[in-house]
Amino acid sequence: MNAIQHSVRLGMTRGWLETRQTLTNREDLFNIFMFPVIFVIVMFFMRDSKLPGTDFSLGAATVPSVLGASIVFSGMLGMAGVLAVEREDGTLLRAKATPNGMIGYLVGKVVSISFGTVIGMLLVLIPSLVLFDGIAPGGWSSWLSLLWVLVIGLIATMPIGAVFGSLTSNARSIGLIMLPVLGLGAISGIFYPITALPEWLQYIAQVFPMYWLGLGMRSALLPDSTVIIEIGQSWRQWETLGVLTAWAVIGLVLAPVVLRRMARRESGSSVAARREKAMQRIG
């Protein structure tokens, strides 16, 4: 086993340990459960509303959109937030100081964030299967479609999140990333059909992965009768794959370059300076 393979193996072990620690920490568990519970409650109260032109529950139709959006929030904001925090507290510097340490560190974050994303999705999906009828009508084909959207979605969002996390000066700057992501959520058809929005907003939403992740999840989990509320009355699975792959390629090209530049700038003095500024803000 060469050094890089050893680092990847250590990173996978690290990611699993971080996941276990998260699942045994009460504060982390509260954060994991809070948003899925809120979403399930909101969708439950939407159960008697119908999608325009169909007899299908609006609450049930919202489930896959929420799952798609959760990939963006977990993959992009989760990765960005972790990098920003651990850059400030010196964790990244310690990883940089060990041979191939950054490889192991990043693999660990990919593993832990992926586990966290899946857990959050299950916390929405499992109660929804009990509360709503008509979800995943295709059986195994529905679940396989969900799986490929999940995998390509994580590949498309986590590298972009790593870029954002590398560019932020401190953990408090994550809010500058969160606001536009929330804005994209508002125009990406999470709680209502995107076709209800002005056409120019529809075009903007289709540039970014959140809309396509929601569409991909809807194509996997909703019956074909609900496609009439989509743009062009089509699931556009090939377009979904193409756009998410394009974002994945962009992220995988940019992320290594930006991360290397960030790692080169990390030093004991830079970490100490950030800590001093943080203490001044607290004082």
pLDDT in tens, 162-191: 888 888 766 677 777 888 888 888 888 887
pLDDT of residue 26: 87
- Amino acid at residue number 11: G
Q: What is the mean pLDDT of residues 263-277?
A: 62
Close Cβ partners of 263 (under 8 Å, ≥ 6 residues apart)? 92, 96, 102
Judge contact between 191 and 229, C-beta under 8 A.
Answer: no
pTM: 0.88
What is the average pLDDT across 248-270? Answer: 78
∠ at Cα 162 (237, 218), nearest 5°?
Answer: 20
Q: What is the average pLDDT value for the chain, to the nearest integer? A: 86
Residue type, 143: W
- Inform me whether the pLDDT recorded for 267 exceeds 80: no
- 214 close to 64: Cβ distance less than 8 angstroms: yes
The pLDDT of residue 166: 82
What's the pLDDT at 123?
95
Question: What integer pLDDT is reported at residue 124 of this predicted model?
Answer: 95
What residues does each domain of the chain span? 3-282
Q: pLDDT-based confidence at 156, cuts 50/70/90?
A: very high
Give the residue-averaged pLDDT of 248-260.
86
The closest alpha carbon to 219, from 39, 73, 67, 72, belongs to 67
Predicted pLDDT of residue 269: 60
117-149 tens-digit pLDDT: 999 999 999 999 999 988 998 889 999 999 999
Q: Is the pLDDT of residue 8 over 90?
A: no
> Where are any strands of DSSP class E within the chain?
none
Instruction: Name the pLDDT band for 7 (thresholds 50, 70, 90).
Output: confident
CA atoms within 13 A on the CB side of 280: 6
Cβ atoms of 136 and 129 closer than 8 Å:
yes
Q: Tens digit of pLDDT for each residue in 189-237?
A: 887 788 888 999 999 999 999 999 999 999 999 999 899 989 989 999 9
Place 91 in a pLDDT band, splitting at 50, 70 and 90.
confident
231: left (phi over 0), alpha (psi -120 to 50) or beta: beta
